[in-house]
Structure 1
Amino acid sequence: MATRRALHFVFKVGNRTKTAEFYRDILGMKFLRHEEFEKGCEAACNGPYDGKWSKSMVGYGPEDSHFVVELTYNYGIGAYKLGNDFRGITIHSKEIIRNANKLNYPVVTDGESQILTSPDGYKFIVMERETEGDPVKKVTLSSSDLDKSVDYWTRLCGMKVYSQDNKTAVLGYDDNQCKLELYEIGTDVDHASAFGRIAFACPGIELPDIQSKMKEENQTILTDLISLDTPGKATVQVVIVADPDGHEICFVGDEGFRDLSQVDPNADELLNKAMAEDKSDEWFEKKGKTKATA
């Protein structure tokens, strides 16, 4: 469905400083915008937490034309338990492994792929090749039942199947966009506390129809159609659902999101300032404690 487009994947991170270094210095991405919030998101963008948190968007180019990563940071939480739900983001690049080798960052070779693991444990699969368009090529998620997953993503989410075998299926909305790969793991999908979220844009007029279709099929709706505010920026409408394995999916109105997601030239400065002013590690240290593991 060409009116829809893949936007980003949301990770929870426990150490913004190490994470920022990984995305900037190893992956070679740029921070596109950074926002601080005093209370939890109405749509649980930062997870089920009510306290102060931040959102940082990072990628290889503007969100209008690139699939990016959203990093959510909860000030009181230092680590998240990983499940078996997220399998990796595949990137085509000739620079990443050079960066990693230069900085002695660990790289694991797996056939034609090189695998790097972020400070919070999320895997990035690097194919050392020239890329056309967006270097981010696919996001791979686990499935307990591939046929059931493919039915959900095609029939209810409107995706096209690009390839499928007995273990994997690659789906997407457009030939030139980042794809979704589903990989059957033969067991239940465990999201633990690090569970992520994938986001797609669609015309705002389609959001009520997405919600109605999910309700008619008795599918999980995590957040009914709602308007979300970002201080000083555009308001966007979202519907958040979950597939049969509990993978969170955010559908956002494209019109408001294009306005919200314009590159902020001050993003790096805002993130650096927030990290410099973040005294949460010091506070916990003075109390003789470590930040909680979610």
Structure 2
Amino acid sequence: MRIISMASTTIRPSLGCFSASPRFPFVSSRNLSRPTLSSFSHVNQSKALTVRRSVRCLGGVAESGNAAQAVTEEDLLKWVKNDNRRMLHVVYRVGDLDRTIKFYTECLGMKLLRKRDIPEEKYTNAFLGYGPEDSHFVIELTYNYGVDKYDIGAGFGHFGIAVDDVAKTVELIKAKGGKVTREPGAVKGGKTVIAFIEDPDGYKFELLERGPTPEPLCQVMLRVGDLDRSIKFYEKAFGMELLRTRDNPEYKYTIAMMGYGPEDKTAVLELTYNYGVTEYDKGNAYAQIAIGTDDVYKTAEAVKLFGGKITREPGPLPGISTKITACLDPDGWKSVFVDNVDFLKELE
């Protein structure tokens, strides 16, 4: 597979994130288990045209009036819910790529799926996970030449990994010199056995004791300033389901699990609201989540209409046909949507 990055000053074919350096280009994949829906139905073609015109104004009145705006939202909501979406991978930066690969493979049981070096852009990527990229949620690590440390910030929470035996995994991590920040034990107020560890760069991982699962890399936890606002946004703009919520007044926080399938079978987004905290420092270490879609144009319309900000307008990348769009949620967390069919062609 050939994938080339795009510098901020030189136009090149790329699957990168289109943000300022340090870079974190990405690769994506799709799950082919469901049929694609690349367009509205025949009877909704005229409504689709109305969508194109009306979504320029978030929540505003469509050109043909309030009634047309209501139809627009209904069509977009229906399309988003039926779009073929899956969390593809999560991207973040590390200070020593070989050290991190060694820790993830030896302590967490991941496989190094592939690695690529882009010397002209001065960065290297490594893709790790528990299965192929076309069917599993994976990690993309980025090492920028000469940068050995990043600020993780207070907004990023942790990654979740499901394991058969938390205690044995923790013992292995200790034997390899890993840092355990929470010893194995039942979660407060529940029965699930968990533990917390940190990788060499300080990223936190929650180990969850679970039976066999097709998706061991199962969570990305991010903190948000308004949980109800975030839930509505991810339901409407991203088409995710609210799987469950849990309030913990003793420790003054509430969580919401959002995703495209059950927690025990798919990767999910864990949103955490800490009582009274509305903003977080995001640092410069964590980058983004990539999600597959059947249509980046309609995806961008939905994001705009339901309160998100488009940071890269939808369309093909220069030099290649792969279409993407990038956006920010109401808290400023970044996601990139990649056209499913286009990316399969890239893999070929």
TM over 0.5: yes
Please point out which of 235, 240, 255 is paired with 1:168: 255
Aligned pair count? 246
Q: Which residue of 2 aligns with 1:243?
A: 329
Please point out which of 253, 256, 260 is paired with 2:342: 256
Deviation at 1:98, TM superposition (A): 4.0
Helix, strand or coil at the partner of 2:286: coil
Q: Which residue of 1 aligns with 2:292?
A: 201
8 A contact 1:64–1:261 mirrored in 2? no
User: With CA pairs under 8 Å and 6+ residues apart, which has the higher RCO, 1 or 2?
Assistant: 1
8 A contact 1:141–1:181 mirrored in 2? yes
Q: Which residue of 2 aligns with 1:143?
A: 224
Give the letter for the 1:209 counterpart: K
1:183 has 2:269 as partner: no
Helix, strand or coil at the partner of 2:115: strand
In the aligned structure 1, how far is the partner of 2:281 from the partner of 2:344?
33
Helix, strand or coil at the partner of 1:153: helix
**Change in 2 beyond 3 A, CA 1:102/1:260:** farther
Deviation at 1:235, TM superposition (A): 5.7
8 A contact 1:33–1:56 mirrored in 2? yes
Helix, strand or coil at the partner of 2:325: strand
8 A contact 2:233–2:306 mirrored in 1? no
In the aligned structure 2, how far is the partner of 1:57 from the partner of 1:248?
19
Superimposed CA distance per residue, residues 129-185 of structure 1 (whole angstroms, 9 cap, x where no aligned partner): 432211122211111110111111111111111112441111111233211110013
Superimposed CA distance per residue, residues 79-111 of structure 1 (whole angstroms, 9 cap, x where no aligned partner): 111211211111111363243133232222254
Structure 2 alignment gaps of length 5 or more: 1-80, 187-193, 248-253
Deviation at 1:242, TM superposition (A): 0.6
**Change in 2 beyond 3 A, CA 1:79/1:171:** same
Bigger CA radius of gyration: 2
In the aligned structure 2, how far is the partner of 1:153 from the partner of 1:196?
18
1:126-137 to 2 correspondence within 5 Å? 126-137=207-218
8 A contact 1:11–1:72 mirrored in 2? yes
In the aligned structure 1, how far is the partner of 2:210 from the partner of 2:307?
43
1:69 has 2:139 as partner: yes
Q: Which residue of 1 aligns with 2:310?
A: 221
Deviation at 1:229, TM superposition (A): 7.6
Q: Which residue of 1 aligns with 2:175?
A: 102
**Change in 2 beyond 3 A, CA 1:84/1:92:** same
8 A contact 1:28–1:96 mirrored in 2? no
Give the letter for the 2:332 counterpart: G
8 A contact 2:160–2:205 mirrored in 1? yes
Give the letter for the 2:173 counterpart: A
**Change in 2 beyond 3 A, CA 1:238/1:90:** same
**Change in 2 beyond 3 A, CA 1:98/1:165:** closer
Q: Which residue of 2 aligns with 1:5?
A: 86
Give the letter for the 2:107 counterpart: I
Please point out which of 160, 167, 171 is paired with 1:90: 160
In the aligned structure 2, how far is the partner of 1:101 from the partner of 1:80?
24
Q: Which residue of 2 aligns with 1:55?
A: 125
Superimposed CA distance per residue, residues 33-71 of structure 1 (whole angstroms, 9 cap, x where no aligned partner): 2222245xxxxxxxxxxx411221100111122111110
8 A contact 2:158–2:204 mirrored in 1? yes
**Identity percentage of aligned residues:** 32
8 A contact 1:9–1:69 mirrored in 2? yes
Q: Which residue of 2 aligns with 1:121?
A: 202
Helix, strand or coil at the partner of 1:189: coil
In the aligned structure 2, how far is the partner of 1:200 from the partner of 1:213?
14
In the aligned structure 1, how far is the partner of 2:231 from the partner of 2:135?
25
In the aligned structure 1, how far is the partner of 2:308 from the partner of 2:215?
32
4+ residue runs of structure 1 moved beyond 6 angstroms?
none
Helix, strand or coil at the partner of 1:79: coil
Structure 1 alignment gaps of length 5 or more: 40-50, 263-294
Give the letter for the 1:72 counterpart: T
* CA root-mean-square deviation: 2.2
